């Protein structure tokens, strides 16, 4: 009983250009090695506009993230940081503008699932893990593999996959809790678990929304080390309010204000910028 | 009624004992139809009434299990599973009516002075095609409904309301004489099934055994699914659908698969219910029936596989006693039970027993 209509490929959004959407990402399955980023940018946002009922959440935004770069995004509340992540991950469609992943994938035409499969991972502001499952199972589900219904019905972990999960468990220091339900973890541990799940996905680009919120100082320091070690292999985009943390990881900082880029440069440069001071401190 | 005690003991003694108890229950269920074959007046003879009652409850238990798969695991509360159950039942009923009518038209059609069978009755005189319909009618309806509902990302209470509306619409449709399914009387007066007398003890015993087999098979299937990666994806879907999508899973395919599977299980249960009980009519599609099924699952314990079976057994056991002793109070009691379970037993009887066992 093989109903063709159950297969997710059939159920993906039908509005996909040839060569940009599904074809380019290999029939909705694992692709990443083939991401075409010859021009050195993993993410290109050009003249993005998003408005909700007349309110312009994002206004002519231009942003380029290089391959292997670790970029921090800062900005006051309501600057459009989360909306920008929603645009990149397909949760919100921009009213106008271009969003490219690598040189060939048009993010504005892909579904959330396709974007995730193409290699963009996202950590939410509020840590979101599968609370009823154990830490190990959370990582297992996130692992980069065939994620169709049929594959999941018969899936068994290979030795290699187990090793990978163990590695990530060690990296995020949750080895002692591997068989605990994720719902019983502390806030900081959940943050780490979610980061671990991103690592299991092995994405090209990681979007991290306030990753150190609710972490202790030691945990924050450890996260900074972790992110620095990831940069190079992956591209990271970190939204964070904690300036100390930003200073410890970022080589490049973008300041958003009222839905567009206000300043870009090293942390010292943007902190010296008069407009940034004005936005953050008021007149 | 002694099952909860057994389960308490089970929790204390671990999996070996629970397997042993499962085996004993299974043995009793297999022995019941055999004992019913004993000659009348024998001390151990099980009456046809008892056998039918237990068989009926077993069919309900399969529905409870099917509902638990979608509600307990995938978090989709269906208040319309009675519809799938009834569709399976009607498909079986069509065959039984044709069998009873021989070469002529089923009796209710003659009353309406119809001269020929509606097109959708074609082929129903063949048992094999009727069995296909048992699977296809609920399966295709669930597939189409689920495809659109999940594509539009309908969830939570909106999904429940839509399923409730669906079964209500089905009931109204089947109530009409023009629909060609016997109107409010439905199908009854069955005579034979594959040539065997449907009221004979032997036929009843075989149908009962088939029901037990289907229940065991469904339980095994549910257990395998719950233990597979597929089952973990469903649990993840229930708790954090967004996270799952950003992990690269398309929730729609997973929901649709379990939804259709659940509907088909209900259809099969309905097909076994009809020849045992001897009647099928549109009241099986009434919204209260589907809500009652949700009470079984909630009482037994969502997401526990065994819980819904217990719940279906308990509620229906109580029902058959209550409706004899205090017929007018049954619905009040059922409502009160649902409220109490929701307030004080969020994980149902099984959850309570587990807690006791851990203390």
E strands in chain B: 192-193, 196-197
Compute the nearest-CA separation of B249 from chain A (Å).
6
Is residue B191 one of the residues assigned to a domain? yes
Phi then psi for residue B41, to 5 deg, are 90, -10
User: Are the beta carbons of B247 and A3 separated by less than 8 Å?
Assistant: no
Q: Would you give the end-to-end CA distance of chain B in angstroms?
A: 24
Predicted pLDDT at A21: 36
User: Class of A4-281 per CATH?
Assistant: alpha beta
Q: Nearest residue on chain A to B243, judged by CA atoms?
A: A128
Is residue B14 one of the residues assigned to a domain? no
Is residue B344 one of the residues assigned to a domain? yes
User: B interface mutation test: which of A4, A7, A8, A114 has the most B CBs within 10 A?
Assistant: A8
B211-259 pLDDT per residue, tens = 999 999 999 999 999 999 999 999 999 999 999 999 999 999 999 999 9
SS3 A128: coil
- Number of helices (H), then strands (E), belonging to chain B: the values are 15, 2
Q: How far apart are CA B80 and CA B92, in angstroms?
A: 20
Q: Are A145 and A161 in contact (CB under 8 A)?
A: yes
User: Are the beta carbons of A11 and B250 separated by less than 8 Å?
Assistant: yes
Average pLDDT per consecutive 10 residues, chain A (283 residues; last block may be shorter): 40 38 35 62 91 87 91 87 91 91 89 92 90 94 91 89 93 92 91 92 91 87 90 90 86 89 88 85 60
Q: Which domain holds residue B299?
A: 49-358
Q: How far apart are CA B47 and CA B100, in angstroms?
A: 25
Number of CB atoms found within 10 A of residue A72's CB: 24
E strands in A105-204: 105-106, 120-123
B132-169 pLDDT per residue, tens = 999 999 999 999 999 999 999 998 899 999 999 999 99
Q: Kindly provide the b/e burial profile for residues A114-135, where b requires at least 16 CB atoms within 10 angstroms of the residue's own CB.
A: bbbbbbbbbbbeebbbbbbbbb
> What is the number of domains present in chain B?
1
Looking at chain B, the whole-number percentage of residues with pLDDT higher than 90 is 64
Residues of B in contact with A128 (CB under 8 A): 240, 242-243
B34-46 pLDDT per residue, tens = 888 888 778 888 8
Compute the nearest-CA separation of B243 from chain A (Å).
6
Predicted pLDDT at B359: 63
Is residue B36 one of the residues assigned to a domain? no
**Helices (H), ranges, B69-126:** 81-101, 107-111
Bridge-partner residues for B288, per DSSP?
A: none
Q: What is the DSSP letter of B280?
A: B
B50-93 pLDDT per residue, tens = 899 999 999 999 999 999 999 999 999 999 999 999 999 999 99
Tokens of B105: 């038209």
Burial class (CB in 10 A: 0-12, 13-18, 19+), A274: exposed
Give the global pTM.
0.87
Cβ-nearest to B233 among A7, A122, A141: A141
Q: Are A229 and A236 in contact (CB under 8 A)?
A: no
| More confident of the two residues A161 and B6 | A161
Q: Where along chain A do its domains lie?
A: 4-281
Cβ-nearest to B143 among A5, A7, A147: A5
User: Are the beta carbons of B151 and A11 separated by less than 8 Å?
Assistant: yes
Q: Does the pLDDT of residue B5 top 80, yes or no?
A: no
User: Are the beta carbons of A133 and B248 separated by less than 8 Å?
Assistant: no
**C-alpha of A92 from chain center:** 15
Is residue B18 one of the residues assigned to a domain? no
Number of CB atoms found within 10 A of residue A86's CB: 20
In A, what residues contact B, Cβ < 8 A? 3, 5-8, 11-12, 28, 89, 111-113, 116-117, 121-122, 124, 128-133, 137, 140-142, 144, 147-149, 152-155, 197, 201
User: Are the beta carbons of A152 and B238 separated by less than 8 Å?
Assistant: no
Q: How far apart are CA B154 and CA B109, in angstroms?
A: 40
Residues of B in contact with A90 (CB under 8 A): none
Q: How far apart are CA A8 and CA B118, in angstroms?
A: 37
Q: How far apart are CA B206 and CA B36, in angstroms?
A: 11
Is residue B229 one of the residues assigned to a domain? yes
- The answer, yes or no, to whether ipTM is higher than 0.95 is no
């Amino acid at each position: 009983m093989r109903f063709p209509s159950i297969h997710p490929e059939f159920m993906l959004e039908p509005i996909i250009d040839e060569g940009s959407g599904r074809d380019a990402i290999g029939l909705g399955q694992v692709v990443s090695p083939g991401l075409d980023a010859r021009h050195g940018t993993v993410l290109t946002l050009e003249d993005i506009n998003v408005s909700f009922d007349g309110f312009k959440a994002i206004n002519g935004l231009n942003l380029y993230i290089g391959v292997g770069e670790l970029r921090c995004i800062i900005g006051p509340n309501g600057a459009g940081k989360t909306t920008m992540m929603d645009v990149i991950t397909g949760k919100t469609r921009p009213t106008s503008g271009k969003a490219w992943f690598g040189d060939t994938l048009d993010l504005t035409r892909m579904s959330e699932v396709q974007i995730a499969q193409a290699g963009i991972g996202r950590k939410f502001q509020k840590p979101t893990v599968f609370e009823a499952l154990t830490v190990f199972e959370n990582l297992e589900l996130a692992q980069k593999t065939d994620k169709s219904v049929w594959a999941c019905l018969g899936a068994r972990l290979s030795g290699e996959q187990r090793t990978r999960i163990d590695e990530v468990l060690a990296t995020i220091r949750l080895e002692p809790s591997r068989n605990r339900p994720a719902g019983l973890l502390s806030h900081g541990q959940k943050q780490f678990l979610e980061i671990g799940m991103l690592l299991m996905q092995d994405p090209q680009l990681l979007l991290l929304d306030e990753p150190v919120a609710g972490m202790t100082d030691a945990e924050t320091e450890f996260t900074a080390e972790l992110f620095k070690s990831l940069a190079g292999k992956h591209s990271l985009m970190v939204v964070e309010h904690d300036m100390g943390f930003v200073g410890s990881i970022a080589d490049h900082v973008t300041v958003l204000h009222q839905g567009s880029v206000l300043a870009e440069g090293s942390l010292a440069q943007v902190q010296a910028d008069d407009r940034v001071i004005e936005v953050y401190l008021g007149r | 009624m002694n099952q909860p005690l057994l389960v308490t003991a089970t929790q204390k003694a671990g999996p070996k004992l629970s397997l042993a108890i499962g085996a004993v229950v299974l043995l009793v269920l297999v022995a019941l139809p055999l004992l019913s074959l004993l000659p009348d007046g024998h001390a151990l003879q099980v009456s046809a009434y008892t056998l039918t009652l237990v068989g009926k409850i077993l069919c309900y238990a399969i529905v409870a299990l099917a509902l638990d798969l979608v509600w307990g695991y995938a978090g989709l509360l269906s208040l319309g599973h009675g519809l799938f159950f009834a569709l399976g039942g009607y498909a079986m009923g069509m065959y039984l009516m044709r069998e009873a009518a021989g070469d002529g038209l089923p009796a209710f059609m003659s009353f309406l002075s119809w001269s020929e069978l509606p097109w959708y009755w074609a082929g129903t005189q063949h048992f094999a095609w009727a069995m296909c319909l048992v699977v296809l009618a609920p399966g295709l309806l669930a597939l189409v409904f689920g495809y659109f509902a999940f594509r539009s990302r309908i969830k939570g209470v909106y999904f429940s309301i839509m399923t409730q509306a669906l079964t209500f619409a089905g009931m109204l449709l089947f109530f009409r004489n023009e629909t060609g399914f016997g109107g409010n009387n439905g199908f009854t007066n069955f005579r034979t099934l594959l040539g065997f007398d449907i009221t004979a003890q032997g036929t009843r015993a075989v149908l009962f055994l088939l029901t037990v087999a289907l229940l065991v098979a469904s339980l095994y299937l549910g257990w395998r699914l719950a233990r597979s990666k597929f089952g973990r994806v469903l649990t993840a879907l229930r708790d954090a659908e967004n996270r799952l999508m950003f992990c690269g899973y398309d929730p729609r395919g997973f929901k649709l698969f379990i939804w259709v599977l659940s509907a088909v299980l209900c259809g099969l249960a309905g097909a076994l219910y009809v020849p045992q009980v001897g009647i099928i009519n549109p009241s099986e599609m009434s919204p209260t029936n589907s809500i009652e099924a949700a009470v079984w699952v909630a009482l037994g314990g969502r997401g526990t596989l065994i819980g819904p079976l217990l719940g279906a057994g308990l509620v229906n056991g109580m029902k058959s006693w209550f409706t004899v002793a205090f017929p007018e109070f049954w619905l009040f009691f059922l409502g009160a039970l649902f409220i109490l379970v929701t307030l004080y037993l969020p994980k149902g009887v099984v959850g309570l027993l587990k807690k006791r066992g851990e203390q």
